[in-house]
Amino acid sequence: MSYETISVEPLSPVIGAEISGVDLSRPLGNQMFAEIHDALMQHQVIFFRDQEMDWDQHKAFGRLFGELHIHPTAPAPEGHPEILTVHADETSERVAGQGWHSDVSCDAEPPLGSILHIQQAPDVGGDTMFASAYAAYDALSEPMKAFLGTLKAKHEGRHRYLGRNKRTGKMRDGEDVYPEALHPVIRTHPVTGRKALFVNSVFTTRIEGLSDTESRALLDFLCEHINTPEFRCHFKWRKNSVAFWDNRCVQHHAVWDYYPQVRHGYRVTVQGDRPF
C-alpha cells in the first residue's frame, strides 16, 4: 500500500505501525483520513507520537470512524460520557486493560476500535502488548478452523465489572444488568474480509454446545494461543503517544510493571457492529 500524506513505519511484519506526519488535534483532509484508515486496516493497530489533544479534539478524531461508544460501568468526566479515564498510581489495586482482551466484547455490538491518549507515562515500563487475532486464526490447522467456524461463545461483563469503578448507581443508559452476548468464535472483519479469533480471557466464559470440560479446555487453548510471541507487538508509551487499535482483529494486554509510578490518559472508543 502506498501513502502520500502520512509516513507508516511497521513495528513488526504481523501487527502494528507508527504513523507520522499527522496532527490529530486538527481536522484531517479526506485523503489523510483515508490513508489513516487504510493503515489501520493493514496494520490493525497504529501509533502516533507527540499528540496534544483535549477531550473534544480526541472525540472529534474518534467520530471520523463512527459513533462513540459509552462504557457500561466506568465513570466519565462530567459532560463527557464518551471519555474513559485510564489511570494508575500508588493507590491502585488494579489497572485497566490487564489480561488479553478485545474491549467490551460482552456488548452485543462490541467496539470497532479504541483510541488511547497517554498524557503521563512512567519513566520505564507500562507497555501495552497487542496481538493479531488474524495471525492467531491463520496459524490454526484447517480442521480446527473448520470446527471453530461452527461455534459461538458467551461473553459476559459481570465478573469483570462488578465491584470495579466504584460504581454506585445505574449503568450506561439506565441499564441495570451487566452486558452479555453470544458471538461467533471466529468473526469475519467487515472491511478486510479476513477471519479473526474472537474469544478472549477476560470476557469469554463459555463455548455454547460443548460440555463444561470441553468448553474450558478449548477456551484455555485459544486464550493461550493468542499469547504467541510471533502474533504480537509491544508499544512503549511516551507522554502524548496515541494508540488506535481495531478491536475486531486485535487483542491487547496492558502490562502493570511500573507500580507505584503514575500512568494517566484517556480513551475514546468507537462503536462497532454485531460480529458475524
Kindly state the smallest distance separating residue 97's Cβ from ligand SIN, in Å: 3
Q: Which residue, 53 or 254, has its beta carbon nearer to ligand SIN? A: 254
Q: Least CB distance from residue 265 to ligand SIN, whole Å?
A: 7
Minimum CB distance to ligand SIN smaller for 160 or for 195: 160
Please say which residue, 32 or 250, places its beta carbon nearer to ligand SIN.
250
Nearer to ligand SIN, 35 or 127 (CB): 127
Order of strands across the sheet with 128-132? 232-235, 128-132, 250-254
Catalytic entry in 58, 69, 71, 103: 103
Q: How far is the CB of 2 from ligand SIN (least distance, A)?
A: 31
Contact 186, 114 (CB under 8 A): no
Which of the following is catalytic: 43, 58, 71, 101? Answer: 101
Q: How far apart are CA 195 and CA 184, in angstroms?
A: 11
Is 267 part of the annotated catalytic residue set? yes
CB of 237 to ligand SIN, least distance (A): 7
Question: How big is the chain by its Cα radius of gyration, in Å?
Answer: 18
Catalytic-labelled residue, pool 43, 160, 248, 252: 252
Shortest approach of ligand SIN to residue 119 CB, angstroms? Answer: 12
Nearest in space to 243 (alpha carbons), one of 15, 1, 3, 14 = 15
Taking the complex as a whole, how short is the minimal distance between the CB of residue 196 and ligand SIN, in angstroms? 18
Site of interaction with ligand SIN (CB under 6 A)? 86, 96-97, 103, 114, 116, 128, 254, 267
- From 43, 160, 187, 267, active-site residue: 267
Dihedral pair phi/psi, residue 59, rounded to 5°? -65, -40
When CB distances to ligand SIN are compared, the closest residue is: 97
* CB of 114 or CB of 240, closer to ligand SIN: 114
For ligand SIN, which is the closer residue by CB, 74 or 218?
A: 74
Active site amino acids: 101, 103, 252, 267
